[in-house]
Amino acid sequence: MPGPYELYLIRHAIAEERGDSWPDDAKRPLTDDGTQKMRKAARGLERMGVRFDAILTSPFVRARQTADIVAAAFDQRPPVVTMDSLAPGGSIQSVLSDLERQNRRSRVALVGHEPGIGELAARLAGARYPIEFKKGAICRIDVKTFPAGPGKLRWFMTTKVLRAIKK
């Protein structure tokens, strides 16, 4: 992959609790509160001037809903692409291999789950330990190429901070 690239790692927003109501974890949706907070956070991204060429997402409902909310915040809506490697239990190497297929896109968001998204952020930023993502948190990591060398963590924000951003 030629570079440089802006990668935005996003943990899905607040979802329904695990339990008898949602026996299939893959189908757990966002809560109304999670949806509202993510919409406001996505508007904060747009106000910051962030743009995406594509949003790659886990196939789980809560991650896909988060990706769709983020995409809808932009006038030029980026395509949302499902990547099985972003599902819980996916390997970092699988995610990086899938990401290499996006080589014509320089600003890519990835929506996933903990602990995988935190482990991926650590790998991309050259950190020794996973970076903890609260629900809806987003970070930007700039990399020159894949899969070589660590990139630079440019920023990391919670939904609370993004919701507070005004034009």
Residue 1 has what pLDDT?
45
CA-atom Rg of the chain in angstroms = 15
CATH number at residue 126: 3.40.50.1240
pLDDT at 101: 87
> Which regions of the chain does DSSP assign to beta strands (E)?
5-11, 54-57, 80-82, 107-112, 138-143, 152-157
pLDDT of residue 19: 87
Per-residue pLDDT for the chain (167 aa), expressed as one digit of tens each? 466 899 999 999 999 999 888 999 999 999 999 999 999 999 999 999 999 999 999 999 999 999 999 999 999 999 999 999 999 999 999 999 998 888 789 999 999 999 999 999 999 999 999 999 999 999 999 998 866 568 999 999 999 999 999 76
pTM as predicted? 0.94
CB contact set of 25 (below 8 Å; sequence gap of 6+): 18, 60, 88
Full residue range of the structural domain in which residue 50 is found: 5-164
Task: State the CB neighbour count (10 A cutoff) for residue 49.
Answer: 6
pLDDT (0 to 100) of residue 104? 85
User: Structural domain tally of the chain?
Assistant: 1
Torsion sign over Cα 103, 41, 15, 117: positive
